[in-house]
Amino acid sequence: MADVPDISRRTVVKQLALALTAAGSGAFNLEAARVVHALTGEELQTGGYIPKLLTGEEFATVSRLAELIVPADAGGGSGVDAGAPEFIDLLCSQNDDLAEVYQTGLAWVDETMLDRTGARFIEATSDEQTALLDGLVEAEGRRRGGLRRGVPFFTWVRRMTVDAYYTSPIGIADVGYQGNAVLSEFEVSREALNFVNSRIGQLDELGNSGDAPEEDEPEIDAR
C-alpha cells in the first residue's frame, strides 16, 4: 500500500473542519474530505492490526464471517475491507458482556462445524461455511432446530459487520450517500425531481388498502 503522508489524521480532520466553517467558504472542500476518506481507508487496510481481545484464531474466524456476511462485489469491498473485525475486537475489549458473546459464539461456531465436517470453521470449505450460515438464517425464523442456539451470536456478528461496513467510506459510497457537504442552496436534482413527479402521477395505482405491516421497526439511526 501507499505510504501514509506524514500528517496525522486528526490534523487533517481538524483542518477540514476549519475549512468547512471558515467564513465565506462557498465551495465545499471536497478534496479535504477525500483525503480524510483515503487516510481512514488506508488505516483500516494496514493488515498489521493486533487484536486487543480476541485470539488470533478468533480474529481470523470473525474476519471470515465478516467476509461472508458482507462480501466484496462490484459495488464495494467486504466487511473486512471496511474494518469490521477491528471494530468488533475493539468494542469487545471495552465490554465484558460483548466479549463473552463473541468468545462463546465463536466457540459454538467451531464446535458446530467440527460436528458437521470434522474441521473448524476457518478450515472448512466455503460451501461448508455458507451452508452453516444458510442454516442459521433458516433457524432465525423458527423457534426450534439444531442451529437455534447459534442464532443470537449470528445476529450480533451480522449486525456489527453490517454497521461497520455501512459506516465506512466504502459502505457509504456503496449506497450512494452524497451529503455531509457544504452547499449554498438546497435543491433536489432534476433527475430525482422527474422521478418523484412521475411517481406522483401514478398515485392512483400506487395506493394499497392496507398490507400487513412488516415485522419490525428499523433500528435506531445514528444521527
Partner 1 sequence: MGRSVAIQPSPDTHDVVVIGSGAGGGTVAHVLTGLGVRVTLLEAGPMLDPMRDFKEHQWPYDADHRGALEGGERYFSTVPRTHFSAWSGGWELEGEPFTVDRGSEFRWFRSRVVGGRTNHYGRMSFRFADYDFKPYDRDGLGENWPITYAEIAPYYEKAETLIGVTGSLEGIRSAPDGVFQTPPSPKAHELLIQAASERLDIPCIPNRRAVLTRPLNGRPACHYCGQCGRGCRGGSNYSSSQTQIFPALETGLLQIVDQAMAREIVTDGNGKATEVIYIDKRTGGERRIRCRVLVLAASACESARILLNSKNEEFPDGVANSSGVVGRNLMDTVGYGLSARVPALEGMPRYNSDGAGGAHLYMPWWGWEQQEALGFPRGYHIEMGGGYGMPGIGSFGRVARAAGYGAALKDQARKEYGTRISFEGRGEMIPNDDSYCEIDSDVVDRWDIPVLKFHFKWSDYERDQAKHMAETFNALIDTMGGVASAPRARDASGISVGGSIIHEVGTVRMGEDPETSALNSFCQTHDVENLFVCDGGSFVGNPDKNPTLTINALAWRASEYLAEELRRGNL
Which stretch in 53-61, 113-121, 143-151, 163-171 sits in contact with partner 1 by CB under 8 A? Answer: 163-171
Q: Does 124 participate in binding partner 1 (rule CB under 8 A)?
A: no
In the bound state with partner 1, the residue whose beta carbon lies nearer, of 118 and 223, is 223
Report the b/e string of 40-71 with b at 16+ CB within 10 A: bbeebeeeebebebbeeebbbbbbbbbbbbbe
Strand partners, 76: 73
CB of 119 to partner 1, least distance (A): 21
Report the b/e string of 195-217 with b at 16+ CB within 10 A: eeeeeeeeeeeeeeeeeeeeeee
Contacts (CB under 8 A) with partner 1, residues 171-200: 171-172, 174-189, 191-193, 195-197, 199-200
Q: Does 36 participate in binding partner 1 (rule CB under 8 A)?
A: yes
Whose grid coordinates read 469491498? 77
CB of 123 to partner 1, least distance (A): 20
Q: Does 7 participate in binding partner 1 (rule CB under 8 A)?
A: no
Contacts (CB under 8 A) with partner 1, residues 85-114: 87, 90-91, 94-95, 97-98
- Are 132 and 112 contacting, i.e. CB atoms less than 8 angstroms apart? yes
In the bound state with partner 1, the residue whose beta carbon lies nearer, of 143 and 180, is 180
Tell whether the torsion through CA atoms of 141, 217, 155 and 97 is positive or negative: negative
In the bound state with partner 1, the residue whose beta carbon lies nearer, of 66 and 122, is 66
